[in-house]
Amino acid sequence: MTQNPGTEQVQTGFFKKYRGLLLQALVLMALWLILSGRFYFEPIFYGAVSVALVVWLNSKIRHIPLSNGEILTGQRIKILRLLTYIPWLLWQIVMSAFFVAYLTLHPKMPINPMIVRFKSKLPNSLAKVILGNSISLTPGTLTMDIRGDYFTVHAIVDKVEQDLVSGDMESRVGQLYLDSCTPEEMCTDISITKRGLEAKKALQRDEEKK
């Protein structure tokens, strides 16, 4: 079936406007089909009704600001780059598991824990959540706190701390949202402490500022 250019224009506009909701509905429907496991009319109908209800509720919820005053309807994620990001993350999970297993089974346990605090320039909350989860899954680092633009990260040896502050992973996460970003400009304002008291005081300073 051929379409004239006018309706196609409208359809791409519609698609761009509601892309997030359509993707959400698609993922929820796939989840329903996997969980129910039946492929005849009745379960699919009920699934479609509940997916429509959930998507409608979510479209309302997205306009309520978060606790830091940010609204989640902002920049949209680049799906093609997400598809290349996920295999990289899987590979990082395998690497980190082998790394921590090596540290565990080493007789002398060569660890030197430290707390790294840095400021990142990621554009929105969702990107920060992705970065926080990715930091936790990459070798030897664990996100302890995200407050505003500041990340507090626990690094277990010196080498992973250098990898972390080089900003390589941040630029990968930033590329999910921004067109271009380099590792150098993403990660600034780095401070390293070995004592928990300083990190705690820094957190409480931020809390009092609000």
Partner 1 sequence: MELIANVLAVFFLLAGVTFMLVGSIGINRFPDVYCRAHAATKVDTLGIMLFVLGLVFFTGLSITSLKLILVAIFVSLTSPVAAHALTRRALLHGVKPWTKK
**Which of 17, 159, 195, 205 is the binder for partner 1 (CB under 8 A)?**
195
CA–CA dist 144, 98 (Å, integer)? 22
**Element (H or E) spanning 65, and its range?**
none
The radius of gyration computed from the CA coordinates of the chain, to the nearest angstrom, equals: 22
Q: Are 19 and 76 in contact (CB under 8 A)?
A: yes
CA–CA dist 99, 93 (Å, integer)? 10
CA–CA dist 199, 188 (Å, integer)? 17
Give yes or no for residue 86 binding partner 1 (CB under 8 A).
no
Residue range at the interface with partner 1 (CB under 8 A); choices 33-41, 66-74, 162-170, 179-187: 33-41
Minimum CB–partner distance for residue 116 and partner 1 (Å): 12
Give yes or no for residue 83 binding partner 1 (CB under 8 A).
no
Give yes or no for residue 174 binding partner 1 (CB under 8 A).
no
Closest CA to 84 of 18, 179, 11, 172: 172
Choose between 52 and 97: whose C-beta lies nearer to partner 1: 97
- DSSP-derived letter for residue 77 is P
Enumerate residues 109-148 that contact partner 1 by CB under 8 A: 109, 111-115, 132-133, 136-137, 139-140, 142-145
Can you give the binding site for partner 1, defined by CB under 8 A? 31, 34-35, 37, 93-94, 96-97, 99-101, 103-105, 109, 111-115, 132-133, 136-137, 139-140, 142-145, 152, 154, 156, 194-197, 199-200, 203
